[in-house]
């Protein structure tokens, strides 16, 4: 057996032979010769392991070379790249959530290629504070006395609890012990901050008396968490912000709310919602409100804390803040986005615009895309093409407005000669510019709510690429 293994091992191509392949040069130019050798070494090692496990493993030099080229191709291309979101989910967590407004993109470019006033005051010629670029804007838009930003909302919650309730108790309704996604669980976040959780009430019923009976000398915070990604209906009861605020302040306790993907201001959402704005929370007496910047607000990933000046000052001095601070490009994008709100130009923010799109406008766009696709597919060898415009229900996504449906339109497509809808979706997903679609039964769906004119061109170019590849295989 040992001799057999050795004989098979001798057939594995050498590193020199692999490096002499005609296609090696382009990958060396992209990732460097040492990196190319490292990837090839991984492939050859994997082949040796297969042979040790099964000496009868079938392989040849071409097969090994093909695997090496496949891995080099993956390493030579950028992993984080643009794609087309044709799912109809506006705040798609896996696809990057909010798209930035043009003003925000330009602001990122400007500070990215230049030195900036990130922590420098041109007035005094001395060190400034990075939070200053956005604090006044946040306060102006929310009515808060002060504000501070960190890298995301989870960090905002941890910072607040750590700074004001470490080693003390925070009282929260059992119905608000949520998991937002990606294992972001409120009980674990509270534990990480060093806060002792005291849950009251039941999943569906929490009364003011539940909070009252839980308050002790160790209580530092009454915490409210917005259940962003689900809703409980039926026999339910919860306590209003005004009531919790009065109870907290009567007992010298902080009232804090994690608003999650909360609305910054009244954004005139096209469907009915009882979701509060940040301003309404502040006006109801919430001392600290935390929320995300890359969801309903429509900006970059950021966590915002707005509230009383005294408490925000405590956060500024908390050592953890430095580890959670925001970089210059995120601040630039966020400032630009907030200034659009200040101007009343929310329609320039892609998230706001997509959520509030007119249905007739979307129907017109869907018909246009169907016509273009029909012409393109008519030039192929396909004998069966089923394409139509259909009404669909889109969603906000990002854990916002669970259950709310946005009426929209999509182009439905079925190409039986290319296989099932799943197969066609896979082909589109593997294009140079990936196209991510919806699927309904045996058809793929291009939801136009989340498609720009640039995206329509990318879809058409994708099909041109696909059929060029198909013809080569044939």
Asked if residues 56 and 62 have their Cβ atoms less than 8 Å apart, the reply is no
Find all residues with CB under 8 Å of 225, minimum gap 6, and list them: 172, 176, 177, 178, 186, 257, 258, 260
The pLDDT score that the predictor gives to residue 303 is 96
Residue 471 has pLDDT above 50, yes or no: no
- pLDDT tens digit sequence for 58-72: 777 888 899 999 999
The pLDDT score that the predictor gives to residue 198 is 95
CATH 3.90.1150.180 domain extents, the chain: 84-92+355-473
CA distances from 461 to 279, 414, 467 (A): 45, 18, 10
Tell me how far apart the alpha carbons of residues 233 and 203 are, in angstroms, rounded to a whole number: 11
The pLDDT score that the predictor gives to residue 227 is 76
| Greater pLDDT, 50 or 282 | 282
Tell me how far apart the alpha carbons of residues 262 and 274 are, in angstroms, rounded to a whole number: 11
DSSP three-state, residue 338? helix
- pLDDT tens digit sequence for 179-200: 766 567 888 889 999 999 999 9
Stretch among 16-20, 270-274, 361-365, 451-455 having the lowest mean pLDDT: 270-274
Asked if residues 416 and 384 have their Cβ atoms less than 8 Å apart, the reply is yes
Asked if residues 424 and 441 have their Cβ atoms less than 8 Å apart, the reply is no
Asked if residues 139 and 306 have their Cβ atoms less than 8 Å apart, the reply is yes
Stretch among 25-34, 313-322, 451-460, 462-471 having the lowest mean pLDDT: 462-471
Residue 235 has pLDDT above 80, yes or no: no
| 101-348 topology per CATH | 3.40.640
The pLDDT score that the predictor gives to residue 473 is 41
Residues of the chain with pLDDT > 70, as a percent, come to 93
The pLDDT score that the predictor gives to residue 437 is 97
- pLDDT tens digit sequence for 377-400: 999 989 999 999 999 999 998 766
Residue 230 has pLDDT above 70, yes or no: no
SS3 readout for 166-184: CCCEEEEEHHHCCECCCCC
- pLDDT tens digit sequence for 252-264: 999 999 998 778 8
Find all residues with CB under 8 Å of 36, minimum gap 6, and list them: 19, 24, 27, 28, 72
Residue 472 has pLDDT above 60, yes or no: no
Residue 317 has pLDDT above 60, yes or no: yes
**What is the average pLDDT across 316-334?**
96
- pLDDT tens digit sequence for 18-64: 999 999 999 999 999 999 999 999 999 998 888 888 887 777 788 88
Q: What average pLDDT does the structure give for the chain?
A: 91
The pLDDT score that the predictor gives to residue 286 is 97
Asked if residues 404 and 444 have their Cβ atoms less than 8 Å apart, the reply is no
The pLDDT score that the predictor gives to residue 13 is 87
The pLDDT score that the predictor gives to residue 274 is 66
Please name the residue ranges forming H helices in 100-169. 102-112, 132-142, 153-165
pLDDT band, residue 176 (cuts 50/70/90): confident
Residue 136 has pLDDT above 90, yes or no: yes
**What is the average pLDDT across 84-112?**
96
Structure-block tokens of residue 127: 């060190």
CATH 3.40.640.10 domain extents, the chain: 101-348
| 84-92+355-473 topology per CATH | 3.90.1150
Please spell the DSSP secondary structure of 403-465, one letter per residue. T--EEEEEEEEE-GGG--HHHHHHHHHTSSS-EEEEEETTEEEEEGGG--HHHHHHHHHHHHH
**What is the average pLDDT across 410-415?**
98
pLDDT band, residue 159 (cuts 50/70/90): very high
Residues of the chain with pLDDT > 90, as a percent, come to 76
Neighbour-count burial of 50, counting CB atoms closer than 10 A to its CB (0-12 exposed, 13-18 middle, 19+ buried)? middle
């Amino acid at each position: 057996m040992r001799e057999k293994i050795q004989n098979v091992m001798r057939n594995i191509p050498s590193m020199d032979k692999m490096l002499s392949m005609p296609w090696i040069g382009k990958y060396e130019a992209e990732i460097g010769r040492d990196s190319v050798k490292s990837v090839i070494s991984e492939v050859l090692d994997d082949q040796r392991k297969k042979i040790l496990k099964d000496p009868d493993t079938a392989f040849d030099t071409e097969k090994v070379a093909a695997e090496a080229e496949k891995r080099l191709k993956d390493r030579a291309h950028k992993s984080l790249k643009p794609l087309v979101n044709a799912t109809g989910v506006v705040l798609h967590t896996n696809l990057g959530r909010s798209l930035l407004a043009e003003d925000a993109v330009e602001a990122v470019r400007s500070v990215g290629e230049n030195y900036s006033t990130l922590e420098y005051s041109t007035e005094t010629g001395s060190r400034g504070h990075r939070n200053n670029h956005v604090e006044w804007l946040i306060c102006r838009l929310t009515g808060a006395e002060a504000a501070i930003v960190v890298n995301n909302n989870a960090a905002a919650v941890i910072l607040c609890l750590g700074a004001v309730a470490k080693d003390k108790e925070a009282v929260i309704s059992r119905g608000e012990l949520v998991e937002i996604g990606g294992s972001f669980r409120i009980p674990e976040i509270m534990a990480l901050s060093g806060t002792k959780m005291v849950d009251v009430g039941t999943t569906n019923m929490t009364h003011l008396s539940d909070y009252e009976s839980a308050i002790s000398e160790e209580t530092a915070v009454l915490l409210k968490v917005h259940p962003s990604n689900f809703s409980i209906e039926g026999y339910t009861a919860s306590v209003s912000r005004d009531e919790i605020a009065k109870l907290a302040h009567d007992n010298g306790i902080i009232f804090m709310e994690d608003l999650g993907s909360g609305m910054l201001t009244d954004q005139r959402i096209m469907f009915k919602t009882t979701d509060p704005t940040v301003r309404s929370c502040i006006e109801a007496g919430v001392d600290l409100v935390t929320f995300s910047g890359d969801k309903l607000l429509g900006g970059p990933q950021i966590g915002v804390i707005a509230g009383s000046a005294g408490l925000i000052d405590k956060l500024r001095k908390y050592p953890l803040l430095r580890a959670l601070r925001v970089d210059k490009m995120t601040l630039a994008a966020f400032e630009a986005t907030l200034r659009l709100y200040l101007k009343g130009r929310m329609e320039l923010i892609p998230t706001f615009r997509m959520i509030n799109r007119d249905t007739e406008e979307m129907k017109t766009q869907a018909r246009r895309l169907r016509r273009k696709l029909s012409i393109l597919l008519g030039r192929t060898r396909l004998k069966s093409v089923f394409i139509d415009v259909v009404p669909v229900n889109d969603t906000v996504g990002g854990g916002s407005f669970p259950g709310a449906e946005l009426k929209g339109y999509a182009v439905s497509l079925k190409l039986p000669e290319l296989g099932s809808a799943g197969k066609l979706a896979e082909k589109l997903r593997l294009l140079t510019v990936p196209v991510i679609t919806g699927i309904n039964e045996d058809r793929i769906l291009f939801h136009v709510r989340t498609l720009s004119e640039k995206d329509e061109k990318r879809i058409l170019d994708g099909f041109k690429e696909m059929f060029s590849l198909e013809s080569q295989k044939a």
